[in-house]
Amino acid sequence: MIPNSSPSGLADTPPAGQSHRLRWLLALPKLGIVLLVMALISLLVLLHRSETEEQRTTLIKDVLWLEQSLRFHLNGNQEQLQQLAIELPEGGGEKLFRLRATHMLKNSPEIAQILWLDAHGHIVDALPTEQMPDTGGGPSARQISARAMELADKLSKPVYSETFTPPGKGAFVEVLVPIRHQRKPAGVLIAVYPLASLLSTQIPWWFTEKYRVEIVNDENTLVATQTAITGDSGQMYQIPFDPPGYGLVLRVTSYATPDNTLPRILIAAIILLAIGVFWSLWLIRDLMRKRSRAEEALRSEHAFRAAMEDSLTVGMRARDLKGKIIYVNPAFCKMTGFAATDLVGTTPPMPYWAPENLAESYAMHEAVMAGEAPPEGFEMTFMRKSGERFQALVYEAKLIDGHGEHTGWMASVLDITERKEAEEMARQQQEQLQFTARLVTLGEMASTLAHELNQPLAAIASYNTGCLNLLADGRASNSELQPALEKIGLQAQRAGKIVRRVYDFVRRSEPKRAPCDLRGVIEDCVGFVETDARRRQIRIETSLPALPPVPADRLMLEQVLLNLIRNAMDSMGDTPEHDRLLGIAACIEGNEVRISVSDRGCGISPEISDKLYTAFFTTKPEGMGVGLSICRSIIEFHRGRLWAEDNFETGSPRGTIFLFTLPLEST
């Protein structure tokens, strides 16, 4: 206790709350002693009453169990007889009867006899004997069976007969199951039960060690009994025995067995209660220490977790199974601009959902609640409190409590707005780089294009001069001018196609995948370079089978092919003229098209093979080093792949083969 140095002079005075709690803790031992004395007095009074009630309850439970057990067994035998009664008219006869009856007699020793009677009451077959016991003075077993058989025939269902007692034997009862064929009476099956045998076989030994079991009729006459003990009878309980019925009652009597259970229980209770008092005092002392340590550890753990939450830059949000927010961390509040009090307890629609994407947000919310959130995360557009929109990447995981039960969903939220903007900028830069690469390619082809355009323009000028000369001499006629003018038109169209092809190649456009004639793309690219190829003494061979349309951007594919073709032509600068061969081939493999561009040039050395697709890496003095990097990006955009191999077509590695694939399906 920390001393109190107040001016009033009061020292060593604990706080009021602690003093009150301490008084209660010190009073616990006294309370335990008082409870011990009261328990001793009450125990002597209530113990006898409790024991009597417990015996009564146990007796009733055991009698009900015995009655249900007997009823279940009799019903099981009855169902077997009913099944036999259904199958006998369908065929099998005495052989089937004897097979089933033998099985029942073997497995149900309480059955004394099974009989098969025809529609006139005559015995068709019986096991183990065809003789029926008789009562002598009273109604015979046959008379009782006849009445029961008549009742079973009228009701068309199994019935039990009255009990009958043959001379010198115990009481019997029969169950009769009618046999019907084509809805007409065809006989009856009878199972004879000696009641004494029924009790002896169906009552377990432990039951007879505790109780006396009797079956009495409506005249209170003992019909059958079973027990293994003698002595003074105690409590009794009886219940109607139906089936078989007819006033039969199942009576069970318990026997008092003197023992010293009560004193033992009393002594044990006193000892246990005394031990419990002292043990409780020790536990209270120990628990107070443990509680103090646990509270201190809890405060430390809470401070540690609070520090972790405050330092996180990832937003954390917890929801229960109904979608209500139960927790948000400071990073999530900072990300959305809402306070924790504004978010905790809210249900959809959430205040940070963008109104224009409300349907999409609801759909993703339902998917998360159903456990169908993508494991790789999903993107959503969230709204800050100020109304500003931002892109969020959300990862959902199950929230498991300390008992291992699923209680909700925990989300990790990342603000990826800057990353998306950087990706968009990179995409624009890549597009600009591709456009620049096309311009570079066009610049390299400028002289070739000028030479190609010079031919149709020179032809046009020549034909035009000839026409003017004819007109100047006055010798011009329609038959002479028409062929020249037609040739001028053809050459103009040729020049226009060349200009339009160049314009289509250099114009900027957004990537767009559409069905594309791959063979036409290859032929156009060959048309671009064949003038330059002739100038360099390079032969171009193509192997192009019929190809289906490929979903692709035509302009991008032209850029890839032109880049690979020009690289192949440049690599054959030192190759002998007779061996300069550039091959272009295409084939279908499975669900994709494979295109190859092969050359017989200098090949690719192992030192540069790993850097081949690195941006701005080049082996050409005037090259930019972006061609193959752009080509790979374009092919990957089309869900294909690009790679290079050595050319073995002459038996030894000579030159390179660049190959790329394109999928045939758009999905």
Q: Where are the beta strands (DSSP E) in 460-598?
A: 514-516, 539-543, 550-552, 581-589, 592-598
- Backbone φ and ψ for 219, nearest 5 degrees, come out as -95, 10
Neighbours of 496 (CB within 10 A): 11
Tokens of 252: 């069970």
Q: What is the mean pLDDT of residues 152-175?
A: 81
Report the pLDDT value the prediction gives residue 13, as an integer from 0 to 100.
42
pLDDT at residue number 11: 38
CATH 3.30.70.1880 fits 35-277, yes or no: no
Query: For residue 148, what are its two tokens?
Result: 């029961």
| Region of poorest pLDDT, from 320-324, 450-454, 523-527 | 450-454
pTM of the model: 0.36
User: 488 pLDDT exceeds 50?
Assistant: yes
597 band by pLDDT with thresholds 50, 70 and 90 = very high
**pLDDT(6) > 60:** no
Please list, in sequence order, all residues whose beta carbon lies within 8 angstroms of the beta carbon of residue 19, skipping any fewer than 6 positions away. none
Q: Domain residues of the chain, as ranges?
A: 35-277, 308-415, 418-508, 513-667
Nearest to 245, CA basis, from 260, 223, 266: 223
Q: Is the pLDDT of residue 593 over 90?
A: yes
Q: Which residues pair with 594 in a beta bridge?
A: 587, 661
Cβ burial 203-241 (10 Å sphere, 16+ → b, else e) = beeebbebbbbbbbbeeeeebbbbbeeeeeeebebeeeb
CB 561 within 8 A of CB 521: yes
From 114-118, 199-203, 362-366, 528-532, the region with the lowest mean pLDDT: 528-532
The pLDDT > 70 percentage for the chain reads 72
% of the chain surpassing 90 pLDDT: 3
CATH topology (fold) of 308-415? Beta-Lactamase (3.30.450)
Q: Does residue 357 contact residue 381 with C-beta atoms inside 8 Å?
A: yes
Q: Where are the alpha helices (DSSP H) in 316-399?
A: 330-336, 340-343, 358-369
| Residue 354: band (very low, low, confident or very high) from pLDDT cuts 50, 70, 90 | confident
Mean of the pLDDT values across residues 292-317? 77
Give the closest residue to 385 by CA, choosing from 330, 324, 342. Answer: 342
**What's the pLDDT band for 429 if we cut at 50, 70, 90?**
low
Average pLDDT over residues 66-83: 87
Domain 418-508 indexed as CATH 1.20.5: yes
Top-confidence range, 125-134, 288-297, 422-431, 457-466: 288-297
Structural class in CATH, domain 513-667: alpha beta
Is the model's pLDDT at 502 over the cut of 70?
A: no
- 8 A C-beta contact, residue 559 and residue 437: yes
378 pLDDT above the threshold of 70: yes
Q: Using alpha carbons, list the distances in angstroms from residue 464 to 451, 482, 483, 489, 497.
A: 20, 12, 12, 11, 20
What is the per-residue burial (b if ≥16 Cβ within 10 Å, else e) of 409-421?
bbbbbbbbeeeee
More confident residue, 632 or 531: 632
- Secondary structure element (H or E) that encloses residue 393, with its range: strand 389-400
- Give the C-alpha separation, 123 to 116, whole Å: 6
Summarised one tens digit per residue, pLDDT across range 238-262 is: 888 888 878 888 888 887 655 556 6
Does pLDDT of 584 surpass 90?
yes
Asked if the model's pLDDT at residue 386 lies above 80, the reply is: yes
Would you call 347 helix, strand, or coil by DSSP? coil
**What is the pLDDT at residue 368?**
86
- Per-residue model confidence (pLDDT) at position 582: 92
pLDDT of residue 583: 92
pLDDT tens per residue across span 439-467: 555 555 555 555 456 556 766 776 677 77
Residue 183: per-residue pLDDT = 78
- Which bin fits 32, alpha (ψ -120 to 50), beta or left (φ > 0)? alpha
Higher pLDDT, 383 or 505: 383
pLDDT at 476: 65
Is there a shared CATH topology between the 418-508 domain and the 513-667 domain? no
Roughly how many angstroms between the first and final C-alpha of the chain, as a whole number? Answer: 77
pLDDT at 585: 93
Let me know: does 70 contact 259? Beta carbons within 8 Å: no
Greatest extent of the chain over all pairs of C-alpha atoms, in Å: 161
Q: Which range is least confidently modeled, 296-300, 393-397, 447-451, 537-541?
A: 447-451
115-144 residue pLDDT tens = 888 877 788 888 887 665 554 434 455 666
Mean pLDDT value across the chain: 77
456 prior amide bond cis, ω within 30: no
Please say if the pLDDT value at position 3 is more than 50: no
